[in-house]
Amino acid sequence: MGISGCFIAPWKCLVFVGLRLLFLVPAGVPARSGDSFSKDNITVRQGDSAVLKCIVDSKVSRVAWLNRTTILYAGAEKWSLDPRVVRLENTPMTEYSIKIHNVNVHDEGPYVCSILTSNKPKSSKVHLIVQVPAKITNISTDITVNEGSNVTLMCLAIGRPEPSIIWKHRSEKGHTFITEGEYVDMTAVTKEQSGIYECISSNDISEPDVRTVKVTVNYAPFISKARSTGTPVGQKGVLQCEASAVPVADFEWYKEDRRLFNGLNGVKIENQGKQSMLMFLNVSEEDYGNYTCVAMNTMGITTASILLYGPGTMMHDVNRAALLPHCSYCLLLTVILLFLLKF
């Protein structure tokens, strides 16, 4: 209770001074004179309740609970203005206890039960320790970078005791431990390092706090599937081209150096995600030959040659035909020009 309280309740100031003199407590110092017969630590998790017990006997004439220099209770009278602090009445005659509801870190510290018995003061000291579950307070936002860039991820957490922080990488291959600490530094990132990064903060007070950061790595297309196909005349033929890329690749198809368009010259082009299909509804002799699949995005461009051939063609002829130049220089120049105009 401060000086301002004296103006509001002068009689309480008189009682306060009386208690100080009665218990031989110097101003500004917790009640420690006389015999100190109990010193305990009470550990409570933030948000829980703390019960502070004080054992007394029938010879006690005065008793009070103090927090540092503030009187919480004097006998049955409450001095604290904090509604969370209450005296427990349904206790044995030899117990004088108080309860603090919804404990927070500001409640941590020493509490003293001051007792006057046979004109001799005693004190029972209790130190309240407040534990705080680990909580992540700041974490990097989702990030998109180009392959080869440097990336730093941050994760800050609070708690008592001080929490530990570990990072895990969640990708298609599963969870992989990365490092300990608040920061993750990655240099020259690759596409394999894209995915979800988990920050796990824990101090064994409660369940770990887990937050995630998504790292997207842009990279140029890489054609992973492009196989030649043999189809008889008059049948439906399909050439497939599959490319991994971020952002998702755009596809174009060429025969020699001539670009093919959907719905023209008896061909149909279907693009679904990372796959593109060139379909011939009714294969003719003129359709046989070498085709080029072009996959491109903002990061780059790549091509693959695919052959549509008849059922009587020997595989070594197919392989040799696939390697023959088909004005590849002309096609490359055309594709690059279209790429630059597009992006």
Q: Which of 105, 131, 157 is the last residue of a domain?
A: 131
Same domain, 82 and 113: yes
* Max CA separation in the chain (angstroms): 119
Measured torsion, CA atoms of residues 309, 311, 313, 315, in degrees rounded to the nearest 10? 90
Same domain, 232 and 304: yes
What is the Cα 46 distance to its own chain's centre? 22
For residue 263, the model assigns a pLDDT of 85
Burial class, 69, CB count within 10 angstroms (exposed 0-12 / middle 13-18 / buried 19+) = middle
Query: Is position 343 within any domain?
Result: no
Name the residue among 63, 80, 77, 62 with its Cα closest to residue 1.
Answer: 80
Query: Is position 63 within any domain?
Result: yes
Same domain, 120 and 45: yes
Query: Is pLDDT at 341 greater than 50 in this prediction?
Result: yes
Query: Is position 167 within any domain?
Result: yes
59 — pLDDT class (breaks 50, 70, 90): confident
Dist. CA 38–CA 30, nearest whole Å: 14
Query: Is position 99 within any domain?
Result: yes
CATH number of the domain at 91, please. 2.60.40.10
Query: Is position 279 within any domain?
Result: yes
Burial class, 26, CB count within 10 angstroms (exposed 0-12 / middle 13-18 / buried 19+) = exposed
Range of the domain at 178: 140-219
Query: Is pLDDT at 47 greater than 70 in this prediction?
Result: yes
**Which amino acid type is present at position 59?**
K
Q: Which of 131, 154, 171 is the last residue of a domain?
A: 131
Query: Is position 16 within any domain?
Result: no
Q: Angle at Cα 88 formed by Cα 82 and Cα 91, nearest 5°?
A: 170
Q: Which of 80, 99, 131 is the last residue of a domain?
A: 131
How do residues 269-311 score in pLDDT, each as one tens digit? 999 999 999 999 899 999 999 999 999 999 999 999 999 998 8
**Which of these ranges, 34-48, 149-163, 327-341, has the smallest mean pLDDT?**
327-341
Q: Name the average pLDDT for the chain.
A: 82
Same domain, 67 and 127: yes
Distances (CA, A) of 74 to 51, 58, 97: 17, 17, 12
Task: Pick the more confident residue, 338 or 222.
Answer: 222
Query: Is position 162 within any domain?
Result: yes
Query: Is position 169 within any domain?
Result: yes
Same domain, 247 and 293: yes
Residue 317 zone, left/alpha/beta (φ > 0; ψ -120 to 50; rest): alpha
How do residues 115-151 score in pLDDT, each as one tens digit? 887 777 888 899 999 999 999 999 999 999 999 999 9
* 62 bridge partner residues: 116
336 — pLDDT class (breaks 50, 70, 90): low
How do residues 94-114 score in pLDDT, each as one tens digit? 889 999 999 999 999 999 998
Dist. CA 31–CA 255, nearest whole Å: 96
* The pair of three-digit structure tokens given for residue 304, joined into one six-digit string: 């693959």
For residue 32, the model assigns a pLDDT of 34
Number of domains in the chain: 3
Same domain, 177 and 199: yes
For range 58-78, the mean pLDDT: 87
Query: Is pLDDT at 256 greater than 50 in this prediction?
Result: yes
Is 53 strand, coil or helix?
coil
Same domain, 46 and 126: yes
Q: Strand 151-160 relative to strand 60-67: parallel, antiparallel, unpaired?
A: unpaired
Distances (CA, A) of 32 to 23, 25, 71, 111, 164: 9, 7, 14, 11, 38
Same domain, 282 and 253: yes
* The pair of three-digit structure tokens given for residue 58, joined into one six-digit string: 């029938």
